[in-house]
């Protein structure tokens, strides 16, 4: 389920996400989204510094996974542990914007 940001992949099913084990970071966005491009370096640095799976999910109208997570703005990062959401960050630009993810992983 690990994919580099912007790499087209089939959208994971919600049932597969809910059944995932361990840490999983879902990154919802769009390839043309300026906010997503701006967030890419800080997100990549976070992923490289932590033991977790990362899945970039192309979001948009009618995309079921994004709707099931009530994604409204891009990028939205949803951190899950064993299929359960433990933290969420919207439109991060700096490392400190990812503090909710860092704090959730420290518990």
* Three-state DSSP string of the chain: CCCCCCCCCCCCCHHHHHCCCCEEEEEEECCCCHHHHHHHHHHHHHHHCCCCEEEEEECCCCCHHHHHCCCCCCCEEEEEECCEEEEEEECCCCHHHHHHHHHHHHC
pLDDT at 36: 97
Write the pLDDT tens digit of every residue in 7-54. 556 889 999 999 999 999 999 999 999 999 999 999 999 999 999 999
pLDDT at 21: 96
Write the pLDDT tens digit of every residue in 81-97. 999 999 999 999 999 99
Write the pLDDT tens digit of every residue in 59-72. 999 899 999 999 99
pTM for the predicted model, two decimal places: 0.91
């Amino acid at each position: 389920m690990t994919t580099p940001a912007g790499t087209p992949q089939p959208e994971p099913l919600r049932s597969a996400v809910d059944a995932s084990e361990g840490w999983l970071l879902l990154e919802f966005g769009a390839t043309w989204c300026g906010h997503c491009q701006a967030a890419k370096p800080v997100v990549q640095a976070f992923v490289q510094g932590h033991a977790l799976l990362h899945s970039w999910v192309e979001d948009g109208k009618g995309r079921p996974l994004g709707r099931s997570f009530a994604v409204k703005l891009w990028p939205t990062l949803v951190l899950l542990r064993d299929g359960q959401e433990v933290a969420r960050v919207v439109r991060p630009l700096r490392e400190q914007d990812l503090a909710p993810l860092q704090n959730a992983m420290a518990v």
